[in-house]
Amino acid sequence: MSRDVWKRDEIDSPCVQVCVVHPEERLCVGCLRSIDEIAQWSRMSTDERAAVMADLPSRAPRLKKRRGGRARRNQG
């Protein structure tokens, strides 16, 4: 049996197995996808996956913003 049967022309998931949802932005802090995108990933077309992947780098700065916590207290 050929291994080619199991090859699929798909975009791999950006999952890095750090699955924590940011409470305000509602994005996974590991892969930067929304819960809906994660849930729909296996049913998305290649074009839909490519669109999500292209948008991921622009989402990272949204998770850097902190309005409280230790960083805020140390500003004095």
How far apart CA 75 and CA 31 sit, in angstroms, is 30
| pLDDT (0 to 100) of residue 63 | 87
| pLDDT (0 to 100) of residue 5 | 58
User: In 3D, which of 75, 74, 33 has the Cα closest to residue 53?
Assistant: 33
How far apart CA 39 and CA 52 sit, in angstroms, is 13
- Residue holding tokens 């074009």? 47
What pTM was estimated for this model as a whole? 0.71
Ordered per-residue pLDDT tens for the chain, 76 residues:
555 555 556 788 999 999 999 999 999 999 999 999 999 999 999 999 999 999 999 999 998 865 555 555 555 5
| pLDDT (0 to 100) of residue 35 | 94
**Residue ranges of the domains in the chain?**
15-62
